[in-house]
């Protein structure tokens, strides 16, 4: 096993990652994971055939959407995330579920793990939010053993969450130089290019997550209260009531356009699995 020596981050990168960690600590991401997307964790556990005896790393794990079901399946699991507040919530959820796993603060673009040290590496709508896609993809592959399984879930650009980010973009602060849009991870060609020839047996499938809100305004208000990127966007325009009202209306109309008469929406995501080449 090779110990990987990380290049010290620049001051700019350290500041950017601190902002990202603070963003995800806002609101209540645990409520999003628990009430809106819990199914996605089980999707990855099943797609990667996670089970007893496997050493699993869940990157940008949040509150354990994948990591806890993986531990329940009998795997030895490390859950890492940039935001310690999310890890603390995850620890409590794991205790309540009666499972034990290792919770580690880590940057997806500079993972503190040895080369080829995991049988399975997963990320569920997590690594897609690392600002620099190629370094994050490189790290996912690096820590995976040859023949090991990689499993990713990412929101697609054309799906509901991808469109939500497009809707918020005119109201949000411009991204830092070099940062790439998160939903690009949901573009199959982009993610295949990131991973390159280092993986094989690649399978991809676009799926739809069924989500329910009683009214479009309920979706908008829930995300304004719980979801870090939405909270940060609104904070940036808080002193401009015209912009706040415009974003309120835009998010409401977006939800209305994706919602049927019963309040159900389908949120498209890309499921990708692959094996690291030998």
In a domain, 219, yes or no: no
Across all residues in the chain, what is the average pLDDT? Answer: 96
Tell me, what DSSP letter sits at residue 116?
T
In a domain, 6, yes or no: no
In a domain, 174, yes or no: yes
What's this model's pTM, rounded to 2 decimal places? 0.95
The tens digit of pLDDT for each residue in 6-28 reads: 667 788 888 889 999 999 999 99
pLDDT at 4: 58
* DSSP secondary structure string for all residues of 200-236: EEEEEEEEEEEEE-SSHHHHHHHHHHH-HHHHHHHHH
In a domain, 231, yes or no: no
Average pLDDT over residues 133-144: 98
The tens digit of pLDDT for each residue in 23-60 reads: 999 999 999 999 999 999 999 999 999 999 999 999 99
Is residue 152 within 8 A of residue 127, CB to CB? The reply is yes
pLDDT band for position 148 (cuts 50, 70, 90): very high
pLDDT of 1 > 80? The answer is: no
In a domain, 153, yes or no: yes
Number of domains in the chain: 1
The helix or strand, by DSSP H or E, that contains position 80, with its residue range, turns out to be strand 76-81
pLDDT at 9: 73
pLDDT band for position 5 (cuts 50, 70, 90): low
pLDDT band for position 267 (cuts 50, 70, 90): very high
pLDDT at 259: 97
The tens digit of pLDDT for each residue in 78-107 reads: 999 999 999 999 999 999 999 999 999 999
Query: Which of 7-16, 173-182, 189-198 shows the highest mean pLDDT?
Result: 189-198
pLDDT at 24: 95
The tens digit of pLDDT for each residue in 207-225 reads: 999 999 999 999 999 999 9
pLDDT at 62: 97
In a domain, 242, yes or no: no
pLDDT at 169: 97
Calculate the CA 87 to chain-centre distance.
14
pLDDT of 3 > 60? The answer is: no
pLDDT of 249 > 60? The answer is: yes
pLDDT band for position 160 (cuts 50, 70, 90): very high
pLDDT of 2 > 80? The answer is: no
In a domain, 40, yes or no: yes
In a domain, 245, yes or no: no
**Alpha carbon distance 192, 41 (integer Å):** 22
pLDDT of 276 > 60? The answer is: yes
CATH number at residue 157: 3.40.50.150
Is residue 266 within 8 A of residue 212, CB to CB? The reply is no
% of the chain at pLDDT higher than 90:
92
Can you tell me whether residue 154 is helix, strand or coil?
A: strand
Q: In 3D, which of 95, 94, 56 has the Cα closest to residue 78?
A: 56
Range of the domain at 192: 13-213+265-276
């Amino acid at each position: 096993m090779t110990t990987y020596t990380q290049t010290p981050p620049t001051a700019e990168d350290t500041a950017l990652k601190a902002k990202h960690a603070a963003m995800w600590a806002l609101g209540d991401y645990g409520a999003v994971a628990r009430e809106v997307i819990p199914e996605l964790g089980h999707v990855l556990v099943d797609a990667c055939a996670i089970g007893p005896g496997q050493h699993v790393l869940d990157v940008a794990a949040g509150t354990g959407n994948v990591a806890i079901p993986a531990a329940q399946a009998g795997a030895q699991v490390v859950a890492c995330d940039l935001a310690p507040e999310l890890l603390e919530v995850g620890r409590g959820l794991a205790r309540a579920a009666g499972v034990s796993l290792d919770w580690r603060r880590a940057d997806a673009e500079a993972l503190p793990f040895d080369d080829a040290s995991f049988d399975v590496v997963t990320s569920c709508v997590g690594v897609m939010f690392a600002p620099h896609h190629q370094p994050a993809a490189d790290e996912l592959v690096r820590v995976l053993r040859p023949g090991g399984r990689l499993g990713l879930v990412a929101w697609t650009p054309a799906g509901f969450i991808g469109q939500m980010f497009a809707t918020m973009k005119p109201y949000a602060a411009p991204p830092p130089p070099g940062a790439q849009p998160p939903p690009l991870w949901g573009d199959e060609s982009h993610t295949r290019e990131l991973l390159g020839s280092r993986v094989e047996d690649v399978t991809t499938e676009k799926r739809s997550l069924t989500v329910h809100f009683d009214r479009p305004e309920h979706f908008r208000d829930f995300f304004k209260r719980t979801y870090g990127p939405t909270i940060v966007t609104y904070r940036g325009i808080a002193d401009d009531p015209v912009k706040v009202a415009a974003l309120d209306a835009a998010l409401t109309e977006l939800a209305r356009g994706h919602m049927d008469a019963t309040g159900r929406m389908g949120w498209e995501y890309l499921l990708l699995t692959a094996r690291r080449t030998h």
